[in-house]
Amino acid sequence: MNNVKILGTEILSNNWYKLKKVTYEFRDKNGEVKVQHREAYDRGNGATILLYNKSSKTVILTRQFRLPTFINGNADGMLIEACAGLLDKDNPEVAIRRETEEETGYKITDVKKIFEAYMSPGSVTEILYFFVAEYSKAMKVSEGGGVEHEQEQIEVLELPLDKALQMINSGEIKDGKTIMLLQYAKLNKLVE
């Protein structure tokens, strides 16, 4: 039995991505049908990756300005993150290979999908595909830094995994996807 029936969808904004107001019927646990209204931000699906190097025990992260964090009290708006991007109609592995090269300058070979997750299911439709991949200096094909037409200004960081984990505790790393990937690396002993 389907507990949800969409009654209508209104586009509230279609600037950067789509903000929709959805009206729907929902059958609750008592069998009563209620009409509800919610807004959902549809930005497409994405992928993220943690690059790691076993011999040097390091990971590649990025630092860039994120306006929503600035608005919410992040003093300079800069955020340290794992490389990530939208799928842009590609499959997740193709997309993350593209994003990795654009953002970090590494052309990676073996990519492993580890899981997928909704990151903010109360308001955002996006599902995020999580990957890990080993990197070496030989895979560096450019400086990275992002794509100019997307106005990206990304700093590439190479950090010891232990330091990155400490940066979670100190509050220097506050990005959820990055914390999940770093903890995965530690739990699965990717660089030990």
Q: How does pLDDT run across 43-80, given as a tens digit for each residue?
A: 999 999 999 999 999 999 999 999 999 999 999 999 99
pLDDT of 113: 98
For the chain, state the CA radius of gyration.
19
Angle at 110 between CA 109 and CA 113, to 5 degrees: 135
Where helices occur in the chain by DSSP H, the ranges are 67-71, 92-104, 161-170, 176-187
- N- to C-terminal Cα distance for the chain? 49
pLDDT of 143: 82
Query: Sorting pLDDT into bands at 50, 70 and 90, what band is 42?
Result: very high
Which has the closest alpha carbon to 172: 76, 58, 51, 71?
76
pLDDT of 53: 97
* Residue 104: count of CB within 10 angstroms of its CB: 29
pLDDT of 3: 86
Please state, in angstroms and rounded to a whole number, the distance separating the CA atoms of residues 153 and 63: 9
Query: Sorting pLDDT into bands at 50, 70 and 90, what band is 151?
Result: low
DSSP H or E run through 37: strand 33-42
pLDDT of 62: 97
pLDDT of 146: 72
The CATH superfamily assigned to 46-187 is Nucleoside Triphosphate Pyrophosphohydrolase (3.90.79.10)
* Residue 150: count of CB within 10 angstroms of its CB: 10
The mean pLDDT value of the chain amounts to 93
101-115, pLDDT tens digit by residue? Answer: 999 999 998 999 999
Residue spans of the domains in the chain: they are 4-42, 46-187
Q: What percent of the chain has pLDDT over 70?
A: 96
Q: Is residue 186 predicted with pLDDT exceeding 60?
A: yes
* Interstrand relation of 83-86 and 46-53 (parallel, antiparallel or unpaired): antiparallel
DSSP string, 42-55: E---EEEEEEEETT
Q: Is residue 172 predicted with pLDDT exceeding 60?
A: yes
Please state, in angstroms and rounded to a whole number, the distance separating the CA atoms of residues 3 and 176: 31
Residue 27, both tokens = 């059958």
Quote the crossing angle between the two packed helices 176-187 and 161-170, to the nearest 10°: 130
Residue 155, both tokens = 């700093």
123-149, pLDDT tens digit by residue? Answer: 999 999 999 999 999 999 988 877 666
